[in-house]
Amino acid sequence: MKEFMLIYKGGDPEWMENASQEEMTASMESWRQWMGGLQEKEQLASGGAALQYPGKRLNKDGIVTDISATEFKELVTGFSIVKANDIDAAILIAKECPIFSYPDITVEVREVMVIDLS
């Protein structure tokens, strides 16, 4: 099987602050169920992580800038790595991801490159 990174982009930077305890609990349970199902089918390489919205951007000249709030829709906000035979199968896995219960989210599906350094 190949590995594919699901790259979560966008979302509401204030969701965690505004969500009720019930919404947070339900969200975490849906993630546990989704990842547990992938583990049972041996389709989960890494659960990945959510990323904080604030951050810095560094260019090749060493210039550091803040990530602009206007770029949130394109901002990578988390990732997971799944195992699938091909990109179409990885897309089917991604379609079931609980990330889509959050507002303004898109998911990129990208094959992880295997490089032989031997």
> What CA–CA distance (Å, rounded) separates 105 from 93?
16
Q: What domains appear along the chain, each with residue ranges and CATH number?
A: 2-111 (3.30.70.1060)
pLDDT of res. 33: 97
**Statement: residue 25 has pLDDT above 90:** yes
Written as six digits, the tokens of 57 are 């951007």
Alpha helices for 41-105 (secondary structure H): 87-95
Side-by-side strand order, sheet with 2-10: 44-50, 76-84, 2-10, 105-111
Q: How far apart are the first and last CA of the chain?
A: 21
Q: Report the share of the chain in percent with pLDDT over 90.
A: 65
Mean pLDDT over residues 64-75, rounded?
Answer: 75
pLDDT at 69 over 70: no
